[in-house]
Amino acid sequence: MRILAVGAHPDDLELLCGGTLAKYADQGHEVIMAHLCSGNMGGLNIDPQELAQTRDAEAKAAAKLINAQPLGPIAGDVDLYPTEQMRIKTVDIIRQAKPDVILTHSPNDYMPDHVITSQLVFDASFTSTLPLYKTKLPAHENITPVFYMDTLAGMGFEPTDFVDITDHLETKKQMFFCHQSQLQWIEGHHKAEPTDMLETVAKFRGLQCGVPYAEAFRRLNVWGRIKIDKFLP
């Protein structure tokens, strides 16, 4: 299968579904990791353009660990809006990826870029199937199943599906450690030690489904997207 994961910022996918992406890659699936925002506001005492370049390099390094294809960004941090222009750009990310399944943020996550990413992916994942909706790329007519990733710290999230990432937890950590620019920033700005948060949430989700470590997802259960096939690894 072709797996498209769409996060808001360059480190979101590693934190929220990095183990699942590593497991997909180990099983021979093709993984595409897209982020819609450049990450240029996730720092202190640094030029935003320089930070965006650093975070782009970090995202590419993390993707390389599992031979994934990196895509994005289409906007700066907190400059992502549910506009026609940004929907078109998100449509072309989907049309380029040609996914069999999409992973993205939950609609009720903690900050606007995450919430708007979720909305853009929902809107664009249907719009991208329409041959008469003209963009730079031809339509990808598969109405693709969507799975929402866990929220940060699991707040307000009721999973429908779990992925056992016990054998891929270390890869998930290594992918996240590629984002060195964010380790102190998250600890200082968000008052949370990110590595501990990553492992604690994975252990908590594992406790819920009877394995040492897991990642949680919620299926988008709407007509046309519910398939009988198994899409999570």
pLDDT in the model for residue 2: 98
pLDDT in the model for residue 217: 98
Q: Give whole-number Cα distances, 190 to 39, 201, 205, 227, in Å.
A: 15, 16, 22, 38
Strand order in the sheet with 214-219: 69-71, 30-35, 2-7, 101-104, 146-149, 214-219, 161-164
pLDDT in the model for residue 191: 80
pLDDT in the model for residue 169: 98
pLDDT in the model for residue 192: 79
pLDDT in the model for residue 187: 79
The per-residue pLDDT for range 124-162, each reduced to its tens digit, is 999 999 999 999 999 999 999 999 999 999 999 999 999
The domain covering 2-219 belongs, at the CATH homologous superfamily level, to LmbE-like (3.40.50.10320)
The per-residue pLDDT for range 88-115, each reduced to its tens digit, is 999 999 999 999 999 999 999 999 999 9
The CA-based dihedral angle spanning residues 210, 212, 213, 215, taken in that order and rounded to the nearest 10 degrees: 0
Q: Are strands 146-149 and 214-219 parallel, antiparallel or unpaired?
A: antiparallel
Q: Which of 24-33, 62-71, 191-200, 210-219 has the lowest mean pLDDT?
A: 191-200
Give the pLDDT mean for 194-201.
Answer: 93
Q: Any idea where the domains of the chain sit in the sequence?
A: 2-219
Question: Residue 168's pLDDT band (boundaries 50, 70, 90)?
Answer: very high
Q: Rounded to two decimals, what is the model's pTM?
A: 0.96
What does the DSSP 8-state code read for residue 142? -
The per-residue pLDDT for range 45-63, each reduced to its tens digit, is 899 999 999 999 999 999 9
The two three-digit tokens of residue 165, written as one number? 């990432």
Which residues, in sequence order, are bridge partners of residue 142? none
Q: Who's near 154: CB < 8 A, 6+ residues apart? A: 201, 204, 205, 216
Tokens 């994005």 — which residue? 72
